[in-house]
Amino acid sequence: MPRKTHKDKNKRGQRPTENRTPRPKPKIDFTEDALDFKNTNLLRQYVTDQGRILPRKYTGMPAHYQRRLTTAIKRARQMLLMK
């Protein structure tokens, strides 16, 4: 019995890839030192109305900035500077 082949797939059995244009990276206009739990005006820009921290997908920050942002927001919450 002959094997079934899919003509719309490439060699590895995956879908054909599309040529996508890369999304432009947002500019970060502050330094890593500005990510402090006392800087609540900056931290509130990265929190939703319900109090959830925005993910990297929406903030466009590098991973090490996002980790520092998360810890700064959590510390500000513990100090009752933010809700």
Per-residue pLDDT band for 71 (boundaries 50, 70, 90) equals very high
- The per-residue pLDDT of the chain, averaged, comes to 84
Confidence (pLDDT) at 18: 73
Confidence (pLDDT) at 30: 83
Residue 12 has pLDDT above 90, yes or no: no
Q: Which residues of 29-50 are buried (b: 16+ CB within 10 A; e: fewer)?
A: eeeeeebebeeeeebeebbeee
pTM higher than the cut 0.75: no
Confidence (pLDDT) at 11: 62
Residue 17 has pLDDT above 70, yes or no: no
